[in-house]
C-alpha cells in the first residue's frame, strides 16, 4: 500500500517506542524513544559520530527496519513500508549522481521511474534547474560537476517530485568547501520556506544544526537527550552532554554536593533557586563560560592555565581545586592578575546523574 499522492504532500512524523539493535550487536544502537515531529518543520538531529543519528534517519527513510516500535507518517503506520512506498527524499553525506547521465537526466530520473508524462517531466526539471541555479549545466554530464553542484543534484531529485512528504539530509555539507557551505545552507532555508517540506537534517556540527532548524534534537549514545529550540539548548541543557556539546566553549560541568538550597563546590556554598532533596545521585552544577564573572577579590581564587584569544572574546582556562573551568571574557575587559570567580546564580543548572534537576526527568 503506497501513501496517497497529494498536491503538496508533507507529513508529520511520529516515532512510537522506536528502538533498534543491529543483528549480532549486543547493545542497542537506538534506545527506545517517543518523538512527534510536526508537518513542515525543520528539524536537526545533532550529535557526535556514532550516536545513532544516521541509524534513526535510515529508519525514517525505510532503508532500515527498526527492531522495535513504529514509525508513523501523518498517523499512518509506515514501519513495514519500503523506501519506495514512503515518498521521502534523501540527500546523503557524499553526493550521489548517476555518472553517465546529464544533469537534466539525473533530475528526470525519479520522475521517469514513476511513469510521469514527458511534458510534465520537462516542466518540473526546468523548474528545478532554475531553482538550483543549474540551468547552464543542464546538458553536462553530472560527473563533471563540482561536489556542491552534485549535492544540489541530489537535492534536486527530491525537489522535482510532488509526492515528497519529507526531505532527509544526512550530513549533506561534509564534502562541501567551507565558503560554499553558507551559500548552500541559505539555499536550503529558502527551499524550505518555499515548499514547507518536513525537513530532517542530520549533522554533528552545532552551527549547521542551530542555523538550519527550528527544533534541534540532540542525541547521545543512542538516546534523544533533548529536543528544543537553539535557545533552549543553550540556556537550559537537559543533560550535561548537551551543555558540553552546544556552545563554544561548552558549559562548565563541576562536581558538587547539595545541602538543601545550597550547592557546595570546592568548599564554597552557592545559593540555588530551590531546595534540593539529598539523594545518592551524583550531583554536578552546570554554568556557561559566559555567566562566570572574574574579579580581583570577590569569589573563589582561580589558577589560570591558558588564555585563548578568539576574536571578540578571550577564553580564560583555569582550575579550581583540580576542576577545569573555562570563562568567556569580552575583548578589552581587563583580566585581573590573580582573579577570583563568581557564578551568576540565575544561570546555574543543577544536574543529578547527568540529567537536569527540575526537568521532570532526572529527579
Q: Residues interacting with another protein, by CB under 8 A?
A: 58, 61, 63, 82-84, 88-90, 92-101, 109-110, 113-114, 141, 143-147, 149-150, 154, 157-158, 175
141, β-bridge pairs: 102
The CA-atom distances, in angstroms, between 115 and each of 158, 161, 334 are: 16, 12, 69
**What one-character DSSP code corresponds to residue 336?**
P
279's enclosing H/E stretch is none
Angle (deg, nearest 10), helices 147-159 and 178-195: 10
185/151 Cα distance (integer angstroms): 12
98/88 Cα distance (integer angstroms): 19
Neighbours of 227 (CB within 10 A): 17
Task: Quote the least distance from Cβ 150 to another protein, whole Å.
Answer: 5
Task: Quote the least distance from Cβ 165 to another protein, whole Å.
Answer: 12
* Cβ-based nearer residue to another protein, 79 or 93: 93
Task: Quote the least distance from Cβ 229 to another protein, whole Å.
Answer: 30
Residue 17 has phi, psi (to 5 degrees) of 45, 35
DSSP alpha helix (H) spans, 5-87:
53-61, 83-86
Task: Quote the least distance from Cβ 193 to another protein, whole Å.
Answer: 23
Q: Are 300 and 266 in contact (CB under 8 A)?
A: yes
* Cβ-based nearer residue to another protein, 109 or 241: 109
227, β-bridge pairs: 217
Vertex 15: Cα angle to 11 and 19 (nearest 5): 145
* Cβ-based nearer residue to another protein, 64 or 357: 64
* Cβ-based nearer residue to another protein, 34 or 85: 85
Cell of 315: 577564553
Task: Quote the least distance from Cβ 83 to another protein, whole Å.
Answer: 4
Exposed e or buried b per residue across 93-106, where buried means at least 16 C-beta atoms within 10 angstroms of its C-beta: eebbbeeebbbbbb
* Cβ-based nearer residue to another protein, 115 or 332: 115
- Give the count of alpha carbons within 13 A of 326, CB side only: 19
What lies within 8 Å, CB to CB, of 241 at 6+ separation is: 218, 220, 225, 354
Task: Quote the least distance from Cβ 320 to another protein, whole Å.
Answer: 46
Task: Quote the least distance from Cβ 152 to another protein, whole Å.
Answer: 11
Task: Quote the least distance from Cβ 130 to another protein, whole Å.
Answer: 21
226/237 Cα distance (integer angstroms): 8
* Cβ-based nearer residue to another protein, 100 or 207: 100
* Cβ-based nearer residue to another protein, 169 or 265: 169
Task: Quote the least distance from Cβ 115 to another protein, whole Å.
Answer: 9
* Cβ-based nearer residue to another protein, 96 or 300: 96
* Cβ-based nearer residue to another protein, 55 or 252: 55
Amino acid at each position: 500500500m503506497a501513501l496517497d499522492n497529494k498536491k503538496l504532500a508533507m507529513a508529520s512524523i511520529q516515532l512510537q517506542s522506536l528502538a533498534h539493535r543491529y543483528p549480532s550487536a549486543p547493545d542497542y544502537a537506538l534506545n527506545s524513544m517517543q518523538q512527534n515531529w510536526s508537518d513542515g518543520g525543520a528539524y536537526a538531529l545533532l550529535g557526535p559520530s556514532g550516536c545513532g543519528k544516521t541509524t534513526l534517519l535510515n529508519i525514517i527513510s525505510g532503508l532500515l527496519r527498526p527492531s522495535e516500535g513504529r514509525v508513523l507518517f501523518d498517523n499512518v503506520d509506515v514501519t513495514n513500508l519500503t523506501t519506495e512506498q514512503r515518498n521521502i527524499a534523501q540527500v546523503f553525506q557524499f553526493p550521489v549522481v548517476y555518472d553517465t547521465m546529464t544533469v537534466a537526466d539525473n533530475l528526470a530520473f525519479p520522475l521517469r521511474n514513476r511513469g510521469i508524462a514527458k511534458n510534465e517531466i520537462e516542466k518540473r526539471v526546468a523548474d528545478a534547474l532554475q531553482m538550483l541555479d543549474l540551468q547552464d549545466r543542464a546538458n553536462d554530464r553530472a560527473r563533471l560537476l563540482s561536489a556542491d553542484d552534485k549535492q544540489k543534484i541530489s537535492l534536486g531529485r527530491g525537489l522535482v517530485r510532488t509526492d515528497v512528504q519529507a526531505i532527509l539530509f544526512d550530513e549533506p555539507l561534509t564534502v562541501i568547501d567551507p565558503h560554499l557551505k553558507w551559500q548552500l545552507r541559505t539555499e536550503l532555508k529558502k527551499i524550505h520556506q518555499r515548499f514547507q517540506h518536513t525537513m530532517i537534517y542530520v549533522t554533528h556540527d552545532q552551527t549547521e544544526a542551530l542555523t538550519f532548524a527550528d527544533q534541534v534534537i540532540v542525541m547521545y549514545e543512542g538516546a534523544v537527550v533533548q529536543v528544543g529550540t537553539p535557545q533552549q539548548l543553550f540556556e537550559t541543557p537537559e543533560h550535561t552532554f548537551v551543555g558540553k556539546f552546544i556552545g563554544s566553549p561548552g558549559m562548565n560541568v563541576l562536581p558538587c554536593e547539595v545541602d538543601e538550597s545550597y550547592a557546595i563546590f570546592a568548599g564554597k556554598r552557592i545559593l540555588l533557586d530551590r531546595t534540593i532533596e539529598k539523594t545518592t545521585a551524583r550531583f554536578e552544577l552546570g554554568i556557561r563560560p559566559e555567566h562566570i564573572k572574574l574579579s580581583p577579590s570577590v569569589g573563589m581564587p582561580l589558577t589560570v592555565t591558558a588564555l585563548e584569544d578568539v576574536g571578540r572574546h578571550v577564553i580564560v582556562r583555569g582550575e579550581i581545586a583540580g576542576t577545569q573551568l573555562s570563562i568567556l571574557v569580552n575583548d578589552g575587559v581587563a583580566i585581573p592578575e590573580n582573579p577570583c570567580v563568581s557564578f551568576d546564580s540565575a544561570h546555574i543548572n543543577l544536574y543529578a546523574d547527568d540529567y537536569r534537576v527540575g526537568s521532570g526527568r532526572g529527579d
